[in-house]
Structure 1
Amino acid sequence: MATPKEPVTVPTEVSVDDFLAAVPDERRRADAGRLRAIMGEVTGEPAVLWGPSIVGFGSYHYTYDSGRTGDAPLVSFSPRKQHLVVYLMGGFEDRYGRILERLGPHRAGKGCLYLKRLDTVDESALRELIERTARVHQGVDRASRR
């Protein structure tokens, strides 16, 4: 019988400052610093490195229909080589189409928002997506279809 795997995406003691300072691309590093500031302002939570490469803010407990449970950041991001990946709630692309129209250049899928550069997106739209996701994960707001 297989033993369940331990979750990889858990809070760590690794310094977020050190992690972000090691991002090799200067623009991606600057964008990651700006996104860190935005998420911290919106959530009021400090940045924590979850797993090896996800910068998360706050946390919430989830339970799937299957009964599987766990903890995840309210909102998070990862400065990947090709994109900044912003982790939002699942289905945000169906729920918040009007906000995404305002956002600017992006790709979306399965709870992930892919951004090439922060200076090409509407920051107020990005903040709204982050805030709505945090509120839904905190149980303060329903996932509306706006």
Structure 2
Amino acid sequence: MSRSGNKTVPTDQNVTDYLEAVEPAARAEDALRLDALFRKVTGFVPVMWGPSIIGYGRYDYRYKSGREGSFLATGFSPRKTAFSIYIMPGYADFTDFLSRLGKHKTGKSCLYVNKLSDIDESVLAELIRAGLDDLAKRWLVKPD
């Protein structure tokens, strides 16, 4: 059984302190709104993962190769140019949600949003829930 040795692991850093320190102030306001949305949708208390990712819940995985580890179930990071939102575990097709979301870009399992005013937050809430539900079909999702 090999542990993955993930570089991104939970820390003791205070989430609210981190979010309030985000610059500029408008980005911090969006980050705090995202935090409130994630808390409401997931029911989880957030934990910092690494120096800049806010995670809600976690899951333990073990692949057929024997690689295993833990990772955040969902969350976001207030990067300088865009919010990186980790809500699509990569198993399901979320095209319907994305078509209704508003201005965004996607990566393999990430959603990139410049500012919250660019998107429909109710659709984002639906997407967070759908991503968690999809992840839970494969791995046990639990509070951190």
TM over 0.5: yes
TM superposition score normalised by structure 1: 0.85
Partner SS for 1:119: helix
1:1-146 alignment runs, 5 A limit: 6-91=5-90, 95-139=93-137
**Structure 2 stretches lacking a partner, 5+ long:** 140-144
**Structure 1 stretches lacking a partner, 5+ long:** 142-146
Query: Amino acid of the residue matched to residue 69 of structure 1?
Result: E
Aligned partners of 1:132, 1:5: CA distance in 2, in Å?
Answer: 26
RMSD: 2.0
Report 1 or 2 for greater relative contact order, CA contacts < 8 Å, sequence distance ≥ 6: 2
How big is each residue's C-alpha offset from its partner over 1:71-99, in whole Å with a ceiling of 9 and x where there is no partner?
1111110000000110123437x701111
Aligned partners of 1:48, 1:5: CA distance in 2, in Å?
Answer: 20
User: How many residues in Structure 1 have an aligned counterpart in Structure 2?
Assistant: 137
C-alpha change, 1:113 and 1:50, in structure 2 (3 Å) is same
C-alpha contact 2:4 2:69 (8 A) present in aligned 1: no
Query: Where do 4+ consecutive residues of structure 1 move more than 6 Å?
Result: none
C-alpha contact 1:107 1:113 (8 A) present in aligned 2: yes
C-alpha change, 1:139 and 1:77, in structure 2 (3 Å) is same
Greater fraction of residues in strand: 2
Identity across the alignment (%): 43
